[in-house]
Amino acid sequence: MKNIFTLIAAMILGSCVFSQDLNYARKVINDLAGEAMHGRGYVKNGDLEAAKYINREFETNKLSAFKGAYMQEYSFGINTFPYKLTVIVDGNELKPGTEFLVSCASPSLKGTYELIWLLNDSVFDPEKDIRFEGLSVSDKFIVTDKYHKNLKKDNYFGSKGVIFLKDDDANLWWHVSNGHDVLDFVALDIRRSKLPPGTEHISLDIKNKYIEDHKTNNVAAYVQGIVQPDTFIVFTAHYDHLGMMGQQAYFPGANDNASGTAMVMDLARHYAHSNPQPWYSMVFITLSGEETGLNGSEYFAENPLFPLENVKALINLDMVGTGSDGITLVNGKVFMDDYERLVQLNEKGAYLKKVKIRGESCNSDHCPFYEAGVKAFFIYTMGKEHQEYHTVDDKPEVLPLTEYNDVFKLLLDFVASYEPGFTIE
Provide DSSP, 78-97. Answer: EEEB-S--EEEETTEEPPBT
pLDDT mean over 164-192: 96
| Res. 54: pLDDT tops 80 | yes
Sorting pLDDT into bands at 50, 70 and 90, what band is 38? Answer: very high
Q: What is the distance between the alpha carbons of residues 71 and 221, in angstroms, rounded to a whole number?
A: 9
Per-residue pLDDT band at 127 (split at 50, 70, 90): low
pLDDT at position 337: 96
Residue length of the chain: 425
Q: State the average pLDDT over residues 367-388.
A: 98
77 vs 122: CA distance, rounded Å? 36
Residue 16 pLDDT grade (very low, low, confident, very high; cuts 50, 70, 90): very low
The mean pLDDT value of the chain amounts to 93
For the chain, list the domains and their CATH numbers: 16-77+212-416 (3.40.630.10), 84-206 (3.50.30.30)
What contacts 145, CB < 8 A, 6 or more positions away? Answer: 119, 120, 164, 165
Q: State the pLDDT confidence band at 133, using cuts at 50, 70 and 90.
A: low
Q: What is the predicted pLDDT for the residue at 124?
A: 59
Residues 102-118 have pLDDT tens digits of 999 999 999 999 999 98
pLDDT band at 8 (very low <50, low <70, confident <90, very high): very low
Confidence at 13, pLDDT banded by 50, 70, 90: very low
Task: Identify the band that residue 154 occupies on the pLDDT scale cut at 50, 70 and 90.
Answer: confident
Q: Is the pLDDT of residue 1 over 70?
A: no
Q: Smallest Cα–Cα separation from 392: which of 284, 270, 246, 263?
A: 246
Query: Could you give the C-alpha distances from 165 to 88, 170, 183, 197, in angstroms and in order?
Result: 15, 10, 20, 11
Sign of CA dihedral 350, 386, 218, 49: negative
Q: What is the pLDDT of residue 3?
A: 42
Q: What's the predicted TM-score (pTM) here? A: 0.93
The predicted structure's pLDDT at residue 315: 98
What is the arithmetic mean of pLDDT over 43-68? 97
Closest residue by Cα to residue 201 from 143, 250, 274: 143
